[in-house]
Amino acid sequence: MRGDLDRFRPNDRAVGGDTQALNDGDRKRLVLGLEGAFLSKKVAGRIEAGYRSWDVDPDSGASGDRTQKHGAVGRVELAYQPWAERKTRIQLAYERTSEASAIANFNDVHRGTVSLLHPLVPRTVDADLTLGFTRTDASEGPRSRLFDLGVGVVYHPFDQVDVSLRYLYRYNDSRDELVIESSFARGAREFVFISHSDGDFFQNVVELGVDIRF
């Protein structure tokens, strides 16, 4: 069993003078977990479930977001090893939680991954394939869906050294984007600007890493 209390005080983000842009908030969370083998010796992992609240002080900032959050949270991490004599593993992870937001009171987050780890050369070279999905819903503002696909190879030249090469493709799709209208006067003319945020993007990432253990 684990309990958390996080206090968020975004007073470093001002909109003018001492005016605070976002509201203060307190996140309380209580979860219970089970860890070990499930159904068979080939499946092991951890399951957590619990309750969290995100209480907001609506008078602490200039934000019009008055959303409070109360509900269930959880996490599932499972690893399936089909063959005892090989290190091939299929891993599943899912998490439902709430996190601090840069534009609203909080973000609701659903995050899941499925990965396959397989030894190409026993004790020398391992390969992995990962599929991931993250949905982020701001309490007031845009919603986004992030998809990622990764493939990697890890070379173990020594017991204490790993050399890895990994490619990751990421695609983000956003909805309910923010629209901000601003204006200023210059002489007898007034200039009006409308800014529409766009969180859509794609990335190609290549990572080369060396892990040395002492």
Which of 212, 210, 70 lies closest to 139 in space, CA to CA?
Answer: 70
* 42-88 confidence digits (pLDDT tens): 999 999 999 999 999 888 887 778 889 999 999 999 999 998 888 89
List helix spans (H) across the chain. Answer: none
Residue 98: how many other CB atoms lie within 10 Å? 22
Distance CA 50, CA 29 (A): 7
* 25-40 confidence digits (pLDDT tens): 999 999 999 999 988 8
Which of 185, 189, 192, 124 lies closest to 153 in space, CA to CA?
Answer: 124
pTM: 0.81
* 150-179 confidence digits (pLDDT tens): 999 999 999 899 999 999 999 999 887 777
Tokens of 142: 């845009």
